[in-house]
Structure 1
Amino acid sequence: MKINTKMITALKLSSLCFALSLSSLSFARDIVVEGVVPNETSKQAILVKMRSVYNEDQIIDKIQVRPVAAPNGWSDSVTRVITPDLKKVSQGKLSVRGTQVDLSGKMLNQAEIQPFTSNFQSLVTAPYRFSSQLSVNQAEQAVIDNALKNRIIEFESGSAVLLPAGTQILDEMVVALNRVQGKNVKIIGHTDSQGNPDKNKMLSQQRADAVKQYLISKSIAATRLSTEGLGADKPVADNASPEGRKKNRRIEFEVL
């Protein structure tokens, strides 16, 4: 996740700014949290909320405590907008400057932007104001989606070993990735809901990593590829049926 480090270079002691990244640095999935808060209590409240959403080892704390004036309930308003939904946004940033809340970045699907924005808006109450600039990488994402064609990249049962049918699809994905040379791509692993959730998340990460390594072996630059394992957190079908579970056991490619 990437943060614009120029956001606070002109910050004055009389101003108040909190910002966090929504896309990883060097694909290490680091979340940089920076800005100025009025006291240590506000800082810790923000960090506690961040740790409830992201892994603690992802978070890089650059928050400064300074004697600045803050609107009533400022830290509560900041922590309210730090939700797991932010994981749907990449290449972006969330900033709170006084009573102004700004969100920008990329989302995977155009259809998700409006409901996401409306839900986020409901978290921002007066006197706070909210603006968003969310978009999708439509052309490049279409190239990748058309190559995948909603097919399932198959692995051996319960493992991260690719089956021949899976590598055949990935060989086609190599062609598509070479067509979007200027873009980085996140490989996202998903599972169905059967079994232990922690093991499912680990397996989904291992499968995403296996796809990455295969693509690297086909001369796709490692620096273009990142991975994430979401386990069963984002199903696309009903896990109650075998057909639904098969659809949920999938690999997705997100153009960043």
Structure 2
Amino acid sequence: MKQGRYPSALLLACLLAGSVQAQQEAPVVVSGTVPDEATRATLLERLRSLYGPARVVDQLAVGPVTAPAGWNAHVVGLINSNLKLVSRGQLAIDGSKVSLRGEVASEGQRQQVAGNIAASLNPGYTVNNGLRVTASRQAVLDAALADRIIEFETGSATLTESGTRILDQMHAAMQKLQGVKVAVIGHTDNAGSRTRNLVLSQARAESVKRYLVAKGVPAESVAVSGEGPDRPVADNRHPEGRARNRRIEFKVVQ
């Protein structure tokens, strides 16, 4: 938004965190024009207190704009912990017009943020609530895997045909998660030595990564590890349990 576009109004734009997993690192850019240095200082102090000084990028200017009565208090009231529920978003305040867009993880969060905005403003303000509910990134992976087991040839890290079919679907799911880092974790049953199973589980995780990278997933977005028999999800005393324990886990880490 260009400064000077609204010569008789106040404009504030705040870019919120870039992704849910990157809340601790994404920059928060605040820009626009405010009527005086005291207002500017108050807004920056509030944002830095909420997000941390290192994350706030100050692009605010002081200029001849007109603010509604009590504007400072209303805006400071809007800048609270509820905003940290919003990702990939923008808060814009043009005089008495407030617009918030971005993503939240649930309908409950959307209502919470919207309700907080309404409670922070008087009836003279108009609010455009553009928040949308998005499925969690982990839920996207879980739905694609659907509790299925990615299979390998017995005792090796060679994927079976059924294993590659599942990975084709995991690849499609991961393509929806641009910029998200995923851990691929190999697991085995407890047959044989723990040392051998740790090596095998690592090799299988690496085999999965190679397949996904060959399909176009960026290599840097996939971390691999092998946990061998250390995290069973079923009873190793039964064949069905051992089969469930020989699995690949996909976990969003960033």
Q: TM-score, normalising length from structure 2?
A: 0.57
Alignment partner for residue 120 of structure 2, among 116, 119, 123? 123
Partner of 2:15: 21
Q: What is the CA-CA distance between 1:8 and the residue it aligns to?
A: 3.0
* AA at the equivalent of 2:98: V
Partner of 2:78: 81
1:147 touches 1:173 (CA, 8 Å); kept in 2?
no
Q: Find the aligned partners of 2:171 and 2:60 in 1 and give their Cα distance.
A: 38
- Between the aligned residues of both structures, percent identity stands at 27
1:105 touches 1:135 (CA, 8 Å); kept in 2?
yes
SS at match of 1:126: coil
Gaps of 5+ in 1: 1-6, 151-171, 189-213, 226-250
Higher-Rg member (1/2): 2
Q: Find the aligned partners of 1:182 and 1:76 in 2 and give their Cα distance.
A: 40
Partner of 1:12: 6
Compared with structure 1, are the counterparts of its residues 185 and 146 closer, same or farther at alpha carbon in structure 2 (3 Å cutoff)? farther
2:114 touches 2:129 (CA, 8 Å); kept in 1?
yes
Partner of 1:56: 53
Gaps of 5+ in 2: 148-165, 183-205, 223-249
1:1-256 counterparts in 2 under 5 A? 7-8=1-2, 11-24=5-18, 28-138=25-135, 142-146=139-143, 176=170, 178-184=172-178, 186=180, 219=213, 220-221=217-218, 253=252
* AA at the equivalent of 2:116: N
SS at match of 1:11: coil
Aligned residues: 177
Q: What is the CA-CA distance between 1:178 and the residue it aligns to?
A: 4.4
1:22 touches 1:89 (CA, 8 Å); kept in 2?
yes
* AA at the equivalent of 2:107: Q
Partner of 2:190: none
Q: TM-score, normalising length from structure 1?
A: 0.57
Q: Find the aligned partners of 2:116 and 2:251 in 1 and give their Cα distance.
A: 24
* AA at the equivalent of 2:71: W
Q: What is the CA-CA distance between 1:181 and the residue it aligns to?
A: 1.1
Coordinate RMSD, CA, aligned: 3.8
* AA at the equivalent of 1:40: E
